[in-house]
Amino acid sequence: MKIKIKMTTHGDDARKYKNVMDFASNLNPYGVSKKTLQAVTNNLNKISQYPDSDCTELRKELARYNNINPENIIAGNGSAEIIRLFCEVFLNRGDGVLITVPSFSEYGANAKLFGGKIEYVGLNPYDNFKIGVDEILNKVNNNTRIIFLCSPNNPTGKLISKEDVQKIVKENPQTHIFLDEAFIEFSKQNSLAEEVEKYKNLFILRSMTKFFGLAGLRVGYGIGNKNLIKRLSDLKLVWNVNSLAQIAAIESLKDEEYIRDSKDLMGGEKQNLFKKLSVIPGIRIYPSDANFFLINIKDTGLRSHEMKMKLLERGILIRDCSNFRGLNENYVRICVRTREDNEKLINAIKEII
């Protein structure tokens, strides 16, 4: 019997509009590394060649970057491929899945696709959407196969502390803990990548999309113990990461100046944007550990889709969060961009409310 699953709708609709400032996609506003662009340009002849299906050189560079072994890494055609592959390999029909909400919708969509029985753990807006460890642990039972966590969480921007993740991992050795760290480079917390051999049930998802700006090339990767990675690798599609994507990812990881400058610039702009949005009447902005902010706009009298359309009229695109499970039309999300762009956003919001 076929299961019909309605796949999720994301906020990646900047391509639909011309000449807009994209505050919806949560990408590094400083774009792709110049060294990366040059490397891709220099290797356009690779288009006529098959890519390395094992992503050998890419996994070596990812291993160096994360201080682990290449055998602990699987590369994918974006993080979405890794999420689907993980569910395909480790979920049987009827297995329990825990997901905190609001969070990235692909966890639930792919868990359903492979027959998972999902239980959602709601996050409290009056506690700044903090992920409660005890609430998660109280939901776990003998049927729970996967717990999906996102840190920093999308769309709330909240981190889960290393100690809280370790507590969940240690107390549930028979359950896979899937930790999505797609936005970890924007935070001040280190990745748990080096813990995957110590904790055999811990799997970490990482992305080259957000911080490194390779959204159009699709590169994501997973980190786990060697046996887990082998199980995933045995079932992944061949040639899943194209040649230019592999080259771009390798060069991006090598560009230490780009990495350092991006973190420095983003940190300053983030503080400035938070401070100025916080004083606008009717807006409640939640503290964030990532490069974006979740905002409650209920007291402005506008609904999320109305604010989105009014800002689009001014050449600005934000994320309407009404389709996130656990949120509604009172919420929007905006990411941090350059000082000039951020000032335009602030002025535009003041105009419409």
Q: Using the Cα atoms of residue 331, residue 22, residue 148 and residue 177 in order, give the sign of their dihedral.
A: negative
pLDDT of residue 116: 98
For tokens 């776990």, the residue is 140
DSSP-derived 3-state class of residue 114: coil
- 14-31+257-352 belongs to which CATH class? alpha beta
Q: How many CA atoms lie within 13 A of 159 on its CB side?
A: 17
Asked if residue 254 lies in contact with residue 261, where contact means CB atoms within 8 angstroms, the answer is: no
**In the structure encoding, which two tokens stand for residue 106, read together?**
């692909």
Q: Using the Cα atoms of residue 69, residue 221, residue 129 and residue 318 in order, give the sign of their dihedral.
A: positive
- 34-254 belongs to which CATH class? alpha beta
pLDDT of residue 83: 98
pLDDT of residue 1: 38
Instruction: Look at residues 193, 297, 211 and name the one whose alpha carbon lies nearest to residue 253.
Output: 211
Q: Give the N- to C-terminal CA distance of the chain in Å, as an integer.
A: 51
Long-range contact pairs involving 120-125 (C-beta distance under 8 Å, separation at least 24): 120/325, 120/326, 122/326, 123/153, 123/156, 123/326, 125/286, 125/296
Rounded Cα distance, 300 and 12, in Å = 25
Give the CA angle between residues 76, 25, 261 to the nearest 5°: 85
pTM of full prediction above 0.85:
yes
State how far the alpha carbon of 128 is from the alpha carbons of 125, 164, 284, 285, 295, in Å.
5, 17, 11, 9, 11
pLDDT of residue 217: 96
Numbered ranges of CATH 3.90.1150.10 in the chain: 14-31+257-352
For tokens 């916080």, the residue is 278
pLDDT of residue 225: 98
Rounded Cα distance, 174 and 171, in Å = 9
DSSP-derived 3-state class of residue 14: helix
The separation between CA 301 and the C-alpha centre of its own chain, rounded to angstroms, equals 30
Q: Give the 3-state secondary structure percentages of the chain, helix then strand then coil, rounded to 5.
A: 40, 15, 40
pLDDT of residue 342: 97
In one letter, which amino acid is 83? Answer: I
Instruction: Look at residues 263, 135, 149 and name the one whose alpha carbon lies nearest to residue 203.
Output: 149
Numbered ranges of CATH 3.40.640.10 in the chain: 34-254
> Whats the size of the chain, residue-wise?
353
pLDDT of residue 4: 45
pLDDT of residue 19: 86
Low-confidence ranges of the chain (pLDDT < 50): 1-8
Instruction: Look at residues 32, 19, 7 and name the one whose alpha carbon lies nearest to residue 244.
Output: 32
